[in-house]
Copies of this chain bind each other. A is one copy, B any other.
Amino acid sequence: MSKPNIVILGAGYGGMITAVRLQKTIKPSEATITLVNRNDYHYQTTWLHENAAGTLPHERTKIPINDLIDRDKVNIVLEKVVGIKPEEKKVKLEKSELSYDILVVGLGFEAATFDVPGLDKHAFTIEDLNSARLLNQNLEYHFAAYHHGKKADPSRLNIVVGGGGFTGIEFLGELANRIPALCEKFDIEKTLVRIVNIEKSPMVLSGFDPQLADYAMNSLESRGVEFITGAAITACEPDRMMYEKDGKEIEIPTRTTVWAAGVRANTLIEQSGLATNRGKVEVREDLRSPDYDDIFVIGDCATVFDESTGDAYPPTAQIAIQQAKTAARNIKSLITTGETEKFQPKILGTVASLGHNDAVGELFGSRKIRGLSAVIMKKIIDNRYLLQLGGIRLLMRKGKFNIFY
């Protein structure tokens, strides 16, 4: 093998950690490393709900790739990936094409709207930095517009969130905390604002411990969130949305429908013929594609099964980061000794924030935490990631240290 070309697609959790690890372990004489990303920045996907609610400026979530990558060791190509051709060992970008010897696919997720009419066009999502900040601007715009014009339009103050999963609940927590300041800013009576969550199941945070899910609902209800469970969104228009409950269709006039009830792997995976399992790649033990020895797939585009339960691991930042470390080690092996290792996830726990002052979490799959201890745990997880990604310097600049805010 002559000096191989390693190409990493996507600078999310998976791609970014892979790139950072490879630049430490592989010398420029051993391989050429190229990171391809649409934007010149990486961002913390797990903070997007805060940007969307306006409780954290989106600049805080954004990390310039240049701050993380040594350009003497890794090439950066700022283009959008539009296709992968595994047979030709090529990646099609918007304006150019790249050849690879080893490819790492970390192209993440996108919203899935399941053909509900109008959802793709008129609903807001929390899928990337652009969509999160657009949602925030939309909220501010309608609060600003409320007092403008001849007659105040109450639909501007109704916010509907579809989906009571992780993203939906975390967004609701931030939103509930943000409303008082937003009302103050735009001279609006707080009681006029309505925040509604529409969830298909009888309970939010499905998969989570029911006691913790119950705690989360109570915490949010106490801050004004209204839960409509056992209901499904049936349509979304620019100035209203519809949902069905108990066989009846009900309308809510609103300018802000947030869709947080469905994600899927980047559609490129399917279009490129890589997908093997519902749009994702059911990877081998060492995270390579079952069909191609030279393609690693990590993060939300990959499916890995938990041997003890038989279920697939959920698409989380935690898993993506761990996979990136394994992939980086396996690539190093491939270009040296040739032995790859098996990916063995260590699930440390999951914490869902409920605003800056409350959270719920499960540690090591059994211990339950809530309130301040869960808030602190969430910040430890966030800070640990920053430390891994960019060392002390990045942690000091972007870390979350104030446990009381």
Contact mask for chain A residues 122-133; partner B; CB cutoff 8 A; 1 contact, 0 none:
000000001101
Give the size category of A's interface with B: 20 to 34
Query: Is B148 a contact partner of A144 (Cβ separation < 8 A)?
Result: no
Query: Is B141 a contact partner of A187 (Cβ separation < 8 A)?
Result: no
Chain B positions within 8 Å of A147 at CB level:
130
| A207 → B minimal CB distance (Å) | 30
User: A66 on the interface (CB 8 Å rule)?
Assistant: no
| A44 → B minimal CB distance (Å) | 16
Is the contact region of chain A dominated by helix, strand, or loop, or is it mixed? helix
Chain B positions within 8 Å of A138 at CB level:
141
Given contacts A39-B187, A59-B185, contact A133 B144 (CB under 8 A): yes
User: A388 on the interface (CB 8 Å rule)?
Assistant: no
Query: Is A137 a contact partner of B131 (Cβ separation < 8 A)?
Result: no
What is the count of identical protomers in the complex?
2
Chain B positions within 8 Å of A317 at CB level:
none
Q: Which of A35-70 contact B (CB under 8 A)?
A: 39-41, 58-59
Query: Is B141 a contact partner of A145 (Cβ separation < 8 A)?
Result: no
Task: Give Cα A141 to B130, complex, Å.
Answer: 11
User: A237 on the interface (CB 8 Å rule)?
Assistant: no
Q: Contact check: which of B130, B136, B186 meets A133 at CB < 8 Å? A: B186
User: A134 on the interface (CB 8 Å rule)?
Assistant: yes
Task: Find the B residue at minimum CB distance from A125.
Answer: B148
Task: Find the B residue at minimum CB distance from A143.
Answer: B137
Sampled A-B contacts (23; CB under 8 Å): A39-B187, A40-B187, A41-B187, A58-B185, A59-B185, A130-B147, A130-B148, A131-B148, A133-B144, A133-B186, A134-B144, A134-B145, A134-B148, A136-B144, A137-B137, A137-B140, A137-B141, A137-B144, A137-B145, A138-B141, A140-B140, A140-B141, A141-B141
Q: Which residues of A contact B (CB under 8 A)?
A: 39-41, 58-59, 130-131, 133-134, 136-138, 140-141, 144-145, 147-148, 185-187
